[in-house]
Copies of this chain bind each other. A is one copy, B any other.
Amino acid sequence: MFSKAIRWFGASPPRILLLGFSFIIFVGALLLELPIASTNGESTPFIDALFTSTSATCVTGLTVFDTGSYYSVFGHWVILLLVQTGGIGFMTMATLFALILRRRISLRERLILQESLNQGSIEGLVRLVRKVIFYALAIETVGALLYTVRFMIDMPFGRAVYQGVFHSISIFNNAGFDLSGDAASFAKYSTDLYLNIVSMGLIIFGGFGFIVLADLFEIKSKKKLSLHTKVVLSVSAALILVGAIVIFIFEFTNTRSIGDSGFGHKLLVSFFQSVTSRSGGVSTVDIAELRQATQFFLIILMFIGASPGSTGGGIKTTTFAVLVGAVLAMIRGKEDVVLFRLRLAQERVYKAVTVTLFCIGLVMLGTMILATTENAAFLKILFEVTSAFGTVGLSMGLTENLTSAGKLTIIFMMFVGRLGPLTLTYALGPKAGRPLYRHAEGKIIIG
């Protein structure tokens, strides 16, 4: 029976992912429900504990309570552990999936990964996990040190270390949990260049994904970066830049956000919000006070999200690159989608388009449900659902006021937002064999 169960798991790796995450979330919810997890010493309603646990494990950062004041130190450590397990667990699994579907990755990426993993061997798997953990911990340690140095100016050493570690783990994992107690989590630091740079750095590195990090740090000659790494780096840079410019222009005269700030401050806030929208989840401005056009633009950034196999969510930068490439090919009347002078297989383009459409469908479904269960402006609902789907954690303020049905919907959106795109891509991967029986071909007219 046991071997049967193992075979059942082995036959479909996404099952391990889905069941593993469900199990972690459930255990997390049980722990967060305990009276010792909250500062008021009372047990938390299960739905709220489940919400926090899902939000932490799926590194989303949407919160029904203020993390800093509601949860005790025990509660904070549970959240941090869930964030770390969820973040690193996902990075490992995503990298593994890419390896299993070997056809998807280039020789170069295989070279990077093969030291870590001899296909099929348990030792290789252990080595891969160890390597992912090493990268994560190394960057988090640097982050914690940099944060602590800054926090020491404001608070006693002990608290500075505590806050440094918490924020470094939370922000590298693109989890968006913070201990600030403000609606706009990092609003009080909005002019602090040092903290802005450290935080943006952690979000960006966390959002690159393991393969890109390994490619960046392990290869001597930068000229020979893999196509995947080149696409991730250039699309990330372009999105951050374009995002910042658009936010800057849209908010320039909005006195409720940065309209009254100086030029440099405006620029810094714009860049930070551009970076954080693509999964980070902490913000230096109150999102609810932005203009409608900016909020809708952030929804698009949140939907695109970070890169594959990273701590961030969304449809991913590479998927977005393929979509842009497909549009450009269409405009030029070309059949092939070309990125960096390399042609993409038609099936990969199809996959990108399908995953995107499926995710749009999910966001629409969630929005539809919340539009019936919640009494709030439509844009606020759309923002909340997209934030949950993209595991971003920004909110226009709806989270705390959600009904129970709304909470369940957002829990569902966080879960499928985190695991859906990867699972779906895997499911769309090359099949082992052709079906024995195929129907005859029919024709209909599209468009």
Contact = CB atoms under 8 A, between A and B. Distances in A.
Interface of A: 98, 103-106, 211, 227-228, 231, 250, 291-293, 296-297, 300, 308-309, 315-316, 318-319, 321-323, 326-327, 330, 333-336, 338-346, 348-358, 360-361, 364, 367-368, 371-372, 377-379, 382, 421-422, 424-428, 431, 434-435, 438-447
A231 B446 CA distance: 11
Contacts of A104: 443, 445-446
Nearest to A428: B330
Contacts of A300: 364, 368
B228 A443 contact: yes
Nearest to A209: B445
B323 A357 contact: yes
A92 to B, nearest CB: 15
A292 B445 contact: no
B445 A228 contact: yes
Which of A104, A358, A378, A445 is packed against the most chain B CB atoms within 10 Å?
A445
Nearest to A317: B444
Contacts of A372: 250, 291, 293
A382 B438 CA distance: 41
A315 B445 CA distance: 11
A306 to B, nearest CB: 12
Contacts of A364: 300
B421 A447 contact: yes
7 A-B pairs closest in CB distance: A342-B442, A425-B447, A378-B379, A293-B371, A343-B439, A421-B447, A227-B442
B353 A353 contact: yes
Contacts of A322: 444, 446
B446 A355 contact: yes
A33 B293 CA distance: 33
B350 A444 contact: no
A188 to B, nearest CB: 29
Given A356-B357, A364-B300, A377-B378, A227 B371 contact: no
Nearest to A346: B350
Given A308-B447, A335-B434, A339-B442, 5 more contacts: A293-B368, A308-B446, A334-B435, A346-B350, A348-B446
24 contacts: A98-B445, A103-B443, A104-B446, A106-B442, A106-B443, A227-B442, A228-B445, A291-B372, A293-B368, A293-B371, A296-B378, A300-B368, A308-B446, A327-B361, A333-B427, A334-B435, A341-B439, A345-B441, A346-B350, A348-B443, A352-B446, A356-B357, A378-B379, A425-B447
Nearest to A361: B327
A446 B425 contact: yes
Nearest to A437: B336
A339 B352 CA distance: 23
